[in-house]
Structure 1
Amino acid sequence: MASSLVGSKENSELYAPRSSRGLLAAVIIMGLMIIIGATALVGVIIYRVVHQSAVSTERPAATMMQSAVEPSSLSSVARLKVPRLPGEHVIMVSARQDGAFAVMLKDEQGGVRILLWSPEQARIIAELTLTAPSSP
C-alpha cells in the first residue's frame, strides 16, 4: 500500500501543470505596461504642478501689462474710482487670475465691502457687502 502512495506522488510530479509561454509573456508585458503607465502618470502630474504655479504667478502681471498698454476701447489707462462711503478705507487690493482686482474696504463700525473691478471694462463688476456683527 505504501508503494502505491509513492507511485501516485511521483505521477503527480510528472504531470504537474506547466505554465504556458504565452501566459508568461502576457504577465511580463502587463507588468511593463503598469510600470510605464505609472511613470507617465507621475510625470504628467509633476509637469502640471510645475507649470500651473508658473502660469498662475505670471498671468495677473501679463493681464495688468496688457490693460496698461492696450486699454481696450478706452482713450487712456483705466482708473478705478472707488465709491467709498464715509469712514471707509481700503484694506487690501488683490489681483485675480481672470484679470479682475478684488478691493476690500472697511468702515469704522467693522463692516466690510469687497468690490470686483475689471480693468478691461473699467468698471466694478460685482460688490459684496458684509455687515459688522451686532452687539447683544
Structure 2
Amino acid sequence: MKVAYVFATAGQTIDYVLGDMILPQLEAEAHGVDVVGMFFFHDNTYALREDDPLGQRLADVAAEQEILLMLCDQCATRRGLAEFDHTDEHGRDHYEPTDTVEGATVGCFPDLYAALGEVGVDHVITL
C-alpha cells in the first residue's frame, strides 16, 4: 500500500508524530506501508530547514526510499524557505526552495497531484 502524509496541524505534530513515531519506523524500514510523499503546511515547513536535525533525517530517508518532500509554496515563501522562480503559461507562479534540506521541493496542490500521480497513492493521511 502506498500512502502520502499531509502535515497541516500546527503544534507538536512534526516533532512528536513525525519525529518520534513515523520517522523512526521509516528509518528501520518497519513502517508497514510505502510512504511516497510528505506535504508540509504552515510552520511545519520549518522541519525541512537546512541544518535542522529532523529535516536532515527526513532528507536521508527520503533519498533512500524515494519519498517526495514538498513544502506548500505560499507557506514556504512566507517563512523565507522559498523564492519566486517563474510564472508558467497557465498563469501559475512557481517557486524554488531556499535554505532547505537537499531534495526538498516547493509546490501547490497541482504540483503535489502531478508528483504523486506518477507513483500512485492508495491513501492520503492528514496529520
Higher-strand-fraction structure: 2
Higher-helix-fraction structure: 1
> TM over 0.5: same fold?
no
Q: Which has the higher contact order (CA 8 A, sep 6+)?
A: 2
Give the alignment's TM-score, normalised by structure 1: 0.22
Rg: which structure is higher?
1
Give the alignment's TM-score, normalised by structure 2: 0.24
